[in-house]
Structure 1
Amino acid sequence: MPTSRTYGDACGIARALDVVGERWALLVVRELLLGPQRFSDLRRALPGASSNMLTDRLRELASRDVVRQRRLPPPTASVVYELAEVGRELEPIVLALGAWGLRFPMPAAPAQLSATSVLLFLRESRRAVAPGTYRFELDDRVWTIASRAGAVTVSPGEPMRAEASLRTDPATLNALLSGTSSLADALATGEAIVSGDEASLRRLLEC
């Protein structure tokens, strides 16, 4: 059942936590930062949240105009969830919270790492990279990675064209971005598959 608990505190911080302070709420927001997602996408990204729990969080967030539901046009005709304008305003807050949280120890293995988490890290950590467009396939979803004017953008879906394509899993991509693994090693073990301009892709990953 959705919760109606409140801190009963007039402070803006407490009022914000009345809206997004329930378990999984901010992680739902995180997953929607890069674009709309189906319920099944959210379930896969947040395996620790039961279907009922996720349904409750989405309903609560929608009731506060943080999240909205939309039906995609045919032939897809899928129902997706996306951030409303109020929810989009949470982006710098969520990113700052993530940066603050990096000082604390990793959870015990096995720890979940969603594609969105790693792609947000890629977007925020890469600046001085050469212009280019790349196709990333993570967890059976395709993303367009574009580097322009010293900034990296990430959007769901197929690129019109791409210098290179990378198919891997979020954990391997995270290791490549953090420098704990090399692209050569990931290719050798089959943890990554690359097509196109490998040198250009390596510059993006190793920047």
Structure 2
Amino acid sequence: MRSYGQYCSIARALDLVGDRWTLLIVRELLLRGSCRFTDLKAGLPGIATNLLSARLKELEGVGLVGREDAPPPVATVLYTLTEDGLALEPVLKALGLWGLRLMDVERPDEVFQARWLAYAPTWFTTDADPGAPPAVIQLLASGEQAVIEIGGGEVRARVGRAADPDLILEGPPRAILGLLTGVIDLDLATRMGLTGHGRRDVLARLRPVAADPASAPSAAVR
């Protein structure tokens, strides 16, 4: 791991996490918790096995990632973030929030996974009406499924399907993620191919972190 050789906190941080793939490894461990090497590799399409091994060893060496032996029947090594590694979460959130402005185009060769559909609402939206009853939104994008659960002033999301959602949103990832995070409005999302079925008022519960309250998603779903 090479150093920038600068007495600067930004440079010092980049000495540890500035290499290609490193922050995405941290992202996966934040989203998954403790996980196997094969799970990490599956969440990082395009990374070579030897490069992932090298990056994990580097992260272990600087105290950002730890490993533990899982008991039978798993009986394998599990990788997890240390306390210092977990402290990178606000860094990833800030970077992701800044990067939303770059999400207006889906490139043909880009991969999309359900976990990425799930973390965006949790990190980038808040509950606009904490006193309202709980609500559930089912998301369907590029064959991936995620569920948003809103209630008690919190927004939680997970991979999978909901038994009886209040609202179902289906469409391309950029339409769904753009709408939820306030990057685009409902009219544009609809023109991109978004469809919605169910309670139209539920969308008003989601307030994008980066948006002014007046610009939160409209409740009208066509």
Specify the alignment match of 1:128 in structure 2. Answer: 128
Quick check: 1:14 aligned with 2:6? no
Specify the alignment match of 1:188 in structure 2. Answer: none
Return the offset for 1:182: 3.8
Give the conservation status (yes or no) of the 8 Å contact 1:66–1:83. yes
| Equivalent residue letter for 1:76 | V
Specify the alignment match of 2:112 in structure 1. Answer: 113
| Equivalent residue letter for 1:33 | L
Q: How does 1:50-69 map to 2 (within 5 A)?
A: 50-69=48-67
Give the conservation status (yes or no) of the 8 Å contact 1:35–1:82. no
Return the offset for 1:101: 1.7
Q: How does 1:21-170 map to 2 (within 5 A)?
A: 21-36=18-33, 37-104=35-102, 106=105, 108-123=107-122, 124-128=124-128, 130-131=133-134, 146-154=149-157, 163-164=164-165
- Please say which of residues 60-69 and 14-23 is displaced more in the overlay: 60-69
- Please say which of residues 25-34 and 171-180 is displaced more in the overlay: 171-180
CA distance in 2: counterparts of 1:87 and 1:120, whole angstroms: 18
Q: Which runs of 4+ in 1 moved over 6 A?
A: 133-139, 141-144
Q: For residue 54 of structure 2, give the secondary structure of its aligned residue in structure 1.
A: helix
Q: For residue 79 of structure 2, give the secondary structure of its aligned residue in structure 1.
A: strand
Q: Which runs of 5+ in 1 are unaligned?
A: 185-197
CA distance in 2: counterparts of 1:38 and 1:205, whole angstroms: 38
Q: Normalising by structure 2, report the TM-score.
A: 0.64
Percent identical across equivalent pairs?
Answer: 36
Q: For residue 49 of structure 1, give the secondary structure of its aligned residue in structure 2.
A: coil
Tell which structure's C-alpha radius of gyration is larger. Answer: 2
> Cα distance 1:110–1:148, how it changes in 2: closer, same or farther (>3 A)?
same
Q: For residue 47 of structure 2, give the secondary structure of its aligned residue in structure 1.
A: coil
RMSD between superposed Cα atoms in Å: 4.0
| Equivalent residue letter for 1:45 | G
Return the offset for 1:5: 0.9
CA distance in 1: counterparts of 2:114 and 2:127, whole angstroms: 20
Q: For residue 26 of structure 1, give the secondary structure of its aligned residue in structure 2.
A: helix
| Equivalent residue letter for 1:176 | I
Count, aligned residues: 188
